[in-house]
C-alpha cells in the first residue's frame, strides 16, 4: 500500500448492536421509511473489509481508526447493559482489526456510568486488545426513563481521566442525537426537528461539553490528557478568542475553575479533525488559531463518502509538508499508531 491518508473518525456497528440503531432512523433521514433507511445504513456500518476497504484502495486512504457509531454506550441508560455493550463491541472490533492490522485500528467504546469501570475497560482495550484510545458520544444517558444526562467534567470522573493520562491515549469526543424527552412538543427541538443532527444540533450540544471539560480543571489536574473533537472542533476554534476573552475577564477570572483559558487548552490538550467538515478556509483558520500540530484528517465514514473526503483533500492548497502532517504525522504521533511517519 502506497502511503496515503489516515482517517481517524470512521464508524462501524457490531452485529449485536444493530437493533439499537432503529430508534434513530427517522432523525437521520426523516423523509424515508425507517426500515429501508436503516437497512442500507446498517450495511454501510457493518462493512469493514469489502466496500469500505475497496473505496480506501481506490481513493488513497491508507488507514482508518474505527469506532462504534453514535450513540453507542452513551445511549444506554442501564449501567450493566452499557458495560456489556462496550465489552462486546470492543471484543468484536478488536477481532476485525486483527484481520487486517495494516489498514485498520480501533478506538474503544466505553460505558461512562462508572468512571472506575470505564477506566478499567479502557485499560483492557489498550493493553489487551491493542486499541489506540477511546471514544465517547457526548453525555451518558442515565435513569429509569433514560432522561438523565451525565457529563464528564465533574470530579466524579477524575479516576477515569487519571487512567487516560497514565495510558497516554486520547479520548475522542463525538456528538449524539437528542434524547426523546428533548423532542416533545414545546421543547427546544420539538417543532424544529430539521435542526437535529450533524448540520446544527451536533456541534451546538457537543461544544457545550467540550467547553465544560476545558474549563473544569481536568487539564490542570491531569495535564497530559489529550482529547479530540471532530468536525473542525465542533465550531469552537471560531469562537476561541471571544470565549477566552470573557473567561479572562476580571469578573470571572478569580472564580473560574481552571487555571488557563480555552485557547491555552486547545493548544495543549485538544486536537481537531476534518471529519464531515470539508472546508478549506475553515481548516486554514483552525491551523492559524490552534496550530498545525493540532489538526488531523478524518472523513466520518460512512456518514460521509470516502471519495468526497479524498476529492476535497486533494484540492486543499496547503504546502505538501503541511498536508503530510495533517493527513498522517499528527495521527501517528497522537494515537501512537504502528505506521511509518
Please tell me which residue in 138, 205, 300, 311 is annotated as part of the active site: 300
Q: Is the peptide bond before 71 cis (omega within 30 degrees of 0)?
A: yes
Give me the DSSP letters along 227-286: EEEHHHHHTGGGGHHHHHHHHTSHHHHTT-SSSS-HHHHHHHTEEEE-TT---HHHHHHH
Q: What nine digits make up the cell of 141?
A: 444517558
Q: What nine digits make up the cell of 103?
A: 489498514
* Catalytic residue list contains 114: no
Give me the DSSP letters along 111-160: --SSHHHHHHHHHHHHHTS----EEEESSEEESTTS-EEE-TTSGGGHHH
- Around 52, how many Cα atoms within 13 Å sit in the side-chain half-sphere? 25
- Listed residue (143, 97, 96, 89) closest to 121, CA to CA: 89
Q: What nine digits make up the cell of 130?
A: 491493542
Q: How far apart are CA 93 and CA 42, in angstroms?
A: 16
Q: What nine digits make up the cell of 123?
A: 485499560
Catalytic residue positions, numbered = 300
Amino acid at each position: 500500500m502506497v502511503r496515503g491518508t489516515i482517517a481517524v473518525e470512521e464508524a462501524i456497528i457490531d452485529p449485536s448492536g444493530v437493533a439499537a440503531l432503529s430508534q434513530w432512523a427517522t432523525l437521520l433521514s426523516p423523509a424515508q421509511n425507517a426500515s429501508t433507511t436503516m437497512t442500507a445504513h446498517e450495511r454501510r456500518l457493518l462493512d469493514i473489509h469489502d466496500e469500505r476497504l475497496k473505496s480506501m484502495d481506490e481513493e488513497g486512504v491508507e488507514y482508518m481508526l474505527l469506532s462504534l457509531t453514535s450513540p453507542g454506550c452513551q445511549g444506554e441508560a442501564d449501567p450493566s447493559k452499557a458495560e456489556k455493550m462496550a465489552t462486546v463491541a470492543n471484543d468484536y472490533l478488536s477481532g476485525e482489526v486483527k484481520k487486517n492490522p495494516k489498514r485498520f485500528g480501533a478506538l474503544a467504546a466505553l460505558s461512562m456510568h462508572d468512571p472506575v469501570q470505564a477506566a478499567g475497560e479502557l485499560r483492557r482495550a489498550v493493553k489487551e486488545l491493542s486499541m489506540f484510545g477511546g471514544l465517547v458520544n457526548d453525555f451518558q444517558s442515565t435513569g429509569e426513563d433514560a432522561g438523565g444526562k451525565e457529563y464528564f467534567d465533574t470530579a466524579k470522573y477524575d479516576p477515569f481521566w487519571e487512567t487516560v493520562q497514565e495510558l497516554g491515549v486520547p479520548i475522542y469526543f463525538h456528538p449524539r442525537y437528542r434524547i426523546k424527552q428533548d423532542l416533545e412538543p414545546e421543547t427546544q427541538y420539538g417543532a424544529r426537528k430539521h435542526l437535529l443532527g450533524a448540520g446544527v444540533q451536533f456541534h451546538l450540544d457537543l461544544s457545550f461539553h467540550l467547553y465544560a471539560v476545558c474549563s473544569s480543571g481536568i487539564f490542570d489536574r491531569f495535564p497530559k490528557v489529550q482529547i479530540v473533537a471532530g468536525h473542525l472542533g465542533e465550531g469552537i476554534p471560531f469562537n476561541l478568542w471571544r470565549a477566552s476573552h470573557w473567561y479572562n475577564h476580571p469578573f470571572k477570572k478569580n472564580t473560574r475553575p481552571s487555571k488557563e483559558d480555552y485557547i491555552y487548552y486547545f493548544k495543549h490538550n485538544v486536537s481537531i479533525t476534518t471529519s464531515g467538515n470539508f472546508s478549506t478556509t475553515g481548516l486554514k483558520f483552525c491551523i492559524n488559531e490552534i496550530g498545525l500540530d493540532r489538526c488531523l484528517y478524518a472523513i466520518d465514514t460512512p456518514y460521509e463518502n470516502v471519495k468526497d473526503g479524498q476529492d476535497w483533500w486533494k484540492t486543499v492548497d496547503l504546502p505538501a509538508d503541511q498536508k503530510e502532517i495533517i493527513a498522517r504525522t499528527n495521527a501517528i504521533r497522537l494515537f501512537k499508531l504502528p505506521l511509518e511517519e
